[in-house]
Amino acid sequence: MFRSSCIHFHIVHSPRGVPFSISADDALRNIQGKYSRRWFGAQLAYMNLSTPRKEFLPFYFCRGTAQAVFTGTVSYNESGRDSKGESTSSTRYIHTQPQKLNTTFEANRTQVYAGYKYNIHHVHAALKSEQTPLLMQKMNRIDTKDATLNLFEQSTHTMRGFVELDVRAQVTETATTLLRGYHPTASSISVNFDKLHISIEEITPVFVPCYIVKSYYDEVEYHLYVSGFNGYVGGPYLLNALYFGRLASALTVAGALLVYPNKVAGFIFGSFFAVATYYMAFYAARLYPKWRRDYNRRTQQEMRHKHQSDDQRGFRPDENSTRRTTAEYHSSTYWDTHAYEQRVGGGGGSSSSSSSGGYSSARVVRDPKGYYKTLGLEGNESINEIRSAYRKIVMQEHPDVGGSENKMVAANAAYRVLRDPKRRAAYDNSA
């Protein structure tokens, strides 16, 4: 139980990135290898995988110190025999005195996904790695061609809660290890913290490479995640419904044979109930991954709305910094156009498509001031595509990451016009 807790902020570094080091074919092979090894895992013959999509997912890497005062409860299970020779068992508890613990946490273990677009647990399973801090480079050295740069949807204020959970687990592990050194034969050890002070000294925003693969299994769409630098795979546990049904029916027959003295009657009754248990297990194994997927998406959406007021402050090193005033930075645009958001009534897709102004590939494009060329566009792109192109330029050309100030000024001038549908239409119609 935590009686007091506080977190302090210090340095926020300029964004860094990690380059892709594996190919899309390697990503598909890693997915097939992972799901073929799982017990009662998915049947690869019925798993249709889409073409991997290259994306850079936002992460916060943190380092700092933690100071704690903790007590421990150590239990010993003791067994023996009494004077009559009968076996006895008892549990003895030892409560330790308060101890101080000063420790550090580094970026190789304290990594938090800073978005809401994808399942945070699956993303962490694939992308969190102790190797990542060693591979970081400045964004102007990262090849972002044909890749999508996702927004930092979480402000550093929201990040505090996730970092506290991560660091709390690390400190608990350290405290348990210390107590285990004094009580090596203990049956169990629990740790209670009287105080925990977390001081975050450095925060590094990092774009981590990831292949996003859509998997269609049992006519249901799932997202699979493959790390772009080590090939680790994260995703839902897809089940083999056929194997589960067969196992359930076999266990039903075996249970009936054990219960009924008359084995013939047991086999008949077991076979009768085996049909029902087969279909129950079959559909349960088939529907469970889909239910988990929808539940996780609702949880992500609720988390996004819960922290929306804090996240509107954007990427800021201090929770009291001035809010950004433009609507573009208030929330992510890619979630608004997500298929799940449209299905549950978010309506983001229709607004985004209508805001593009009806630009089609057959339209004659005029570029009198070279604004489209500055952003690397052809002129037929939607507003979301214009935003994505601008973000790529910011990540590579902003002076904070070693880019060109002149190119950044030109990109800002072009973006101010092209992001506004009215100003863009006037620009396209100008001589």
Q: DSSP characters for 119-161? A: -HHHHHHHH--TTHHHH-EEGGGS--TT-EE----S-HHHHHH
pLDDT at 26 over 90: yes
Residues 143, 147: Cα–Cα separation, whole Å: 9
pLDDT grade for 71, boundaries at 50, 70 and 90: very high
Side chain identity at 353, as an amino acid letter? S
DSSP for 332-391, please give it. -STTTT-HHHHHTT--HHHHHHHHTTT--TTSPP--TT-HHHHTT--S---HHHHHHHHH
Structure tokens at 428: 């396209």
Under the phi-then-psi rule, with left for phi > 0, alpha for psi from -120 to 50, and beta for the rest, what region is 357?
Answer: left
Over the chain, what is the mean pLDDT?
A: 81
Residues 37, 33: Cα–Cα separation, whole Å: 7
Length of the chain: 431
Q: Please name which of 304, 313, 325, 329 lies closest in space to residue 391, comparing C-alpha atoms.
A: 329
**Residues 348-362: pLDDT tens digits?**
443 333 334 444 444
More confident residue, 336 or 133: 133
**Residues 156-168: pLDDT tens digits?**
888 888 999 999 9
Burial class (CB in 10 A: 0-12, 13-18, 19+), 79: exposed
Query: Using N-to-C axis directions, what is the helix angle for 405-418 and 421-428, rounded to 10°?
Result: 100
Question: Which residues lie below 8 Å from residue 280, measured CB to CB, with a gap of 6+?
Answer: 248
Q: Quick one: average pLDDT of 259-276?
A: 82
* List of domains in the chain: 11-60+103-183+201-234 (no CATH), 241-312 (no CATH), 366-430 (1.10.287.110)
Structure tokens at 89: 């068992």
pLDDT value of position 327: 38
pLDDT at 175 over 80: yes
How would you classify the pairing of strands 220-227 and 233-234? antiparallel
